[in-house]
Amino acid sequence: MLFRSFYGRYFTTMGCEMDLSHSPMTDEATAVLKLLPLMRNCRLLDMDSCGVSSLRMQEIRDRYPEMEVIWRIWFAKGKFTARTDVERLWCANSYPNMTAEYTQELRYLTKIKYLDLGHNPELTDWEFIRCMPDLEVLIITGSGWTSLDMLEDCTRLEYLEILPMTYIDLDLHPLAKLTNLEHLNMCGMGKTTGWEVLLNMKKLQRLWIGAATAYGFPEGAMERILEALPDTQIVYLTDSSAAGSWRVNPDGTVPERYTLLREQMGYDHVYEIAPFPENDPKLIPPWRS
């Protein structure tokens, strides 16, 4: 068992973790790659704020899939930042910073479970969601998507809000494997194809279709949905939204699921948990505080 000083910190070759965070590197982690073969028990590599590109860090992640590799990304013109091990991200109402050009780094947040990117109309490229297999909650209401193809493998999704900015024709076939959904709000669509995927979502507790979306279904579709999902609360006779009865019951009480959502997303203190640099204590390492 060897001990080695590396960027001013000591590691044993038998160690399970390597914390190199806030160690400025100018070699794109070349020295790290030379050392890692000796760290056969290492299961966590923390390289937060080391100055290494995400492409290089992804290369390390791919080379050592049994190891959790963490680094820091910056996005939205540098307005936001996050470590790649975060499980929650709220960036709603953040246009014009949230555009396809300024959100490419989001694809490295592979641990995300709870994600709210609602009301970002200039965000049109959503391919990064394909890199988030652990998603349980996703809110993209009122944002610039025109297809749901990016969701086809998000099979752990339990809560999904996909109200478009305006009436659009939409294919629901990408949701075919999302059979763990329990809460789905898809109001406000235009002509909708692939509605048959809803018949297999047996875990649905709430399904908000809304009159506009239901109007775009072919004749007999709603009857088949109601028959297939007899225990699901379904709204389809009136126009609805992500507010209204989705969040507040007719008697004024708050649905249990929305109460949980507020906790999961941190809505009661959202500006304290938003990914602003000043909100992240790990930007300042304890040995420099």
> If pLDDT is split at 50, 70 and 90, which confidence band does 99 have?
very high
Query: Taking all residues of the chain, what is their mean pLDDT, rounded to a whole number?
Result: 93
Contact 150, 127 (CB under 8 A): yes
> Would residue 283 be called left, alpha or beta, if left means φ above 0 and alpha means ψ between -120 and 50 degrees?
alpha
The predicted-structure confidence for 115-162, as pLDDT tens digits, reads as follows 999 999 999 999 999 999 999 999 999 999 999 999 999 999 999 999
What was the pLDDT predicted at 4? 64
CB atoms inside a 10 Å sphere around CB 92: 22
Instruction: Measure the CA–CA gap between 189 and 84, rounded to whole angstroms.
Output: 34
- 95 vs 134 pLDDT, higher one: 134
**So what's the pLDDT on residue 145?**
95
Average pLDDT over residues 205-212: 93
Q: Which of 156, 94, 146 has its CA nearest to residue 125?
A: 146
In the chain, % helix, strand, coil (3-state, to 5) comes to: 30, 15, 55
Q: Does the structure show a pLDDT above 90 at 104?
A: yes
What pLDDT is attached to residue 236? Answer: 93
Lowest-pLDDT range of 63-67, 123-127, 207-211, 285-289: 285-289
Q: Would you say residue 285 has pLDDT above 60?
A: no
Lowest-confidence pick of 38-52, 189-203, 235-249: 235-249
Distance CA 86, CA 112 (A): 6
pLDDT at position 76, please?
96
pLDDT for res 77:
94
Contact, 162 vs 129, CB < 8 A? no
Select the more confidently predicted residue: 239 or 147.
147
For residue 13, the model assigns a pLDDT of 85
pLDDT of residue 247: 92
Q: Which residue has the tokens 């998000």?
A: 154
> Is the pLDDT score of 245 beyond 80?
yes
Contact call for residues 224 and 236 (beta carbons, < 8 A): no
Question: Binning pLDDT at 50, 70 and 90, where does residue 287 land?
Answer: very low
Grade residue 266 by pLDDT with cuts at 50, 70 and 90: very high
pLDDT digits (tens, 9 = 90+) for 20-31: 999 999 999 999
Q: What confidence tens digit (pLDDT) does each residue in 58-84 have? A: 999 999 999 999 999 999 999 999 999
